[in-house]
Amino acid sequence: MSLNSTSEESILISHKGLINERIITQKGEEIRALFKDDIYLSRKIFSVYMELIQNIFYYSCEKEEIGGKSFGVGSIQITKKADSYTIKSCNLAESKFIENINKKFPVINQLNKEQLRKLKIETRRKPQEPLSKGAGIGLIQLAIISGNPLNIFFEKKDTFHSFYNIHIKISSQK
């Protein structure tokens, strides 16, 4: 599992491993402290971070047991370039769910903000698809918040699993 950053990027926040409530809270507090001078940017980055880290927490198929509780394993990182920030996440996913995600995100990337909002409402009203783990609304919400296309790709691990990577860009200008 990798979250490659380039020499043009600086890493602001990074975590790899078990994701539990303590990690979610700790990293959230780090985001708020880092962006305390820009509440607009802070809210956007925090919202995207929460969506991505909760995706790992709930849906990663790599789990670690501690004290009788099961926690998702994955990685999350926030990087900075001169004109933008990127929140990157990676976790192990079952291959059978990848086709569903691969169908959704290109459609989402073609829509403007108003169309995304309509799609979100329509998606909420529909019954959950059999192979869905809720990926529809979360992906739509990421596109709405960021105002940028979703960068989603998969790295095959074995016949049944792939690493599910999501990179969300947020412009540092309003």
Transcribe 96-165 into DSSP letters. HHHHHHHHHHHHHHT--HHHHHHHHHHHHHSPPPTT-SSHHHHHHHHHHHH-S--EEEEEE-SSSEEEEE
pLDDT at residue 146 in the model: 96
pLDDT band at 172 (very low <50, low <70, confident <90, very high): confident
Degrees (nearest 5) of the Cα angle 102, 137, 46? Answer: 105
Class of residue 101 by CB neighbours under 10 A (exposed 0-12, middle 13-18, buried 19+): buried
Q: Is residue 92 left, alpha or beta, with left meaning phi > 0 and alpha meaning psi from -120 to 50?
A: beta
Nearest to 144 by CA among 126, 163, 125, 123: 123
Q: pTM value?
A: 0.88
pLDDT at 125 over 90: no
Q: Which two tokens stand for residue 124?
A: 């909420």
How much is the average pLDDT of 130-145?
Answer: 78
What pLDDT, in 10s, does the model give residues 5-56? 666 889 999 999 999 999 999 999 999 999 999 999 999 999 999 999 999 9
Which of 2-11, 115-124, 148-157 is predicted least confidently? 2-11
Which of 61-70, 90-99, 108-117, 155-164 is predicted least confidently? 90-99
pLDDT at residue 144 in the model: 96
CATH class of 10-171: alpha beta
Q: Which two tokens stand for residue 22?
A: 């303590």
